[in-house]
Amino acid sequence: MTVKSVTSDKRQATSNNRSKHVGALVLASLIAASGCSASYSGERLFWQAQRHAANILNARSSAPTPEQVAEAMTACELVITRVPQTVWAPRAYLLMASLHLRQRQYDKAREAYALVVQNYHRYQDLCLQARMHRAKSYEAQDLWDEAADAYYELADYYPWTAIGLQTPLYVAETYRRRRQTEEATEAYQRAVGRYTKLLPTAPTKELTAKAKMLLAAAHQRLDKWPEAARLMEELIAAPDGIDQAAVLMSLGVAYQTKLDDPAKARQTYERLLTAFPQHPMSKIAKARLEQMGVSIPAELAARVDAAPLSSGGTLTIIPRKSP
């Protein structure tokens, strides 16, 4: 073989490699463009489905016509069939579920939610929404036992989300509001076990504090006041992500009315006044100290009197909002 032929072969090999490289780049670009095109197409189709659905979901005073429902459902199905592997498909299922709920077709709505959970694991925020709305659909039918099971399932899969963390106590509180005393007690005990097990795995200090607050609230409902007080003391010592003044107020009330420890109650109220004189809770603490016969320095009393009024309500750290 001559030097010339070897050089020619090398040039041909280099050219082939370059062609392969360019071909790979072109293929990657086409794939990326296809993905972008699918995403854009899905967004456009979903917008059209939303537009049809809005005529039904926003018209609360009148029932939708069969034609309106058919148009909206068809638009949602078009999203699912045209762009099944994009985020717009599970969103279309959620929209279909909302349309079913609008017509009180609860079983069909739950079927749509189930499809989101089963087929779109990579969109965890949408799966969480599907689980939450599935539980709420049972509530809407007053099927509370089924709703409780659905909420517990949500908490198992998403324990450290805001919804998942609050759910065990929400279930117990709902049983309590329904005057199902035995079930409420069992649910509070279950909440205590769940939060106790979760705490060592808390990913942040803020979530540790939130879990401790919920655990303390469950102990309160079970009349386990020493345990609740211990947790509130821990929260005050490491007040990440909490309303420290509200916890101090709740702790002071626990010492005064549940644990028969007026000395610690006074100490806690005084700490609240000193650290948070402008907090609305300071007015309540001041009134309780005065009832106990404690003299408050005039300057501190004036600062407390200038604080905004409390919104009132029960002195508890139990969350009032549903998940």
What is residue 323's predicted lDDT score, i.e. its pLDDT? 61
CA distance 116 to 159: 19
Average confidence (pLDDT) over 110-135: 98
CB atoms within 10 A of CB 113: 26
CA distance 280 to 173: 26
In this prediction, what percent of the chain has a pLDDT beyond 90? 72
Average confidence (pLDDT) over 1-12: 50
DSSP-derived secondary structure letter, 200: G
CA distance 265 to 250: 10
Q: Is the pLDDT of residue 139 over 60?
A: yes
What is residue 12's predicted lDDT score, i.e. its pLDDT? 53
Q: Is the pLDDT of residue 3 over 80?
A: no
**Alpha-carbon radius of gyration of the chain:** 30
What is residue 39's predicted lDDT score, i.e. its pLDDT? 66
What is residue 301's predicted lDDT score, i.e. its pLDDT? 86
What is residue 25's predicted lDDT score, i.e. its pLDDT? 42
Token readout for 95 is 């929209």
DSSP string, 270-296: HHHHHH-TTSTHHHHHHHHHHHTT---
Query: pLDDT for 244-302, tens place per residue?
Result: 999 999 999 999 999 999 999 999 999 999 999 999 999 999 999 999 999 888 888 88
Q: Is the pLDDT of residue 24 over 50?
A: no
Average of per-residue pLDDT values in the chain:
87
Nearest CA among 200, 209, 213 for reference residue 241: 209
In this prediction, what percent of the chain has a pLDDT beyond 70? 83
DSSP string, 18-42: HHHHHHHHHHHHHHHHHHHHHHHHH
What is residue 37's predicted lDDT score, i.e. its pLDDT? 61
What is residue 76's predicted lDDT score, i.e. its pLDDT? 95
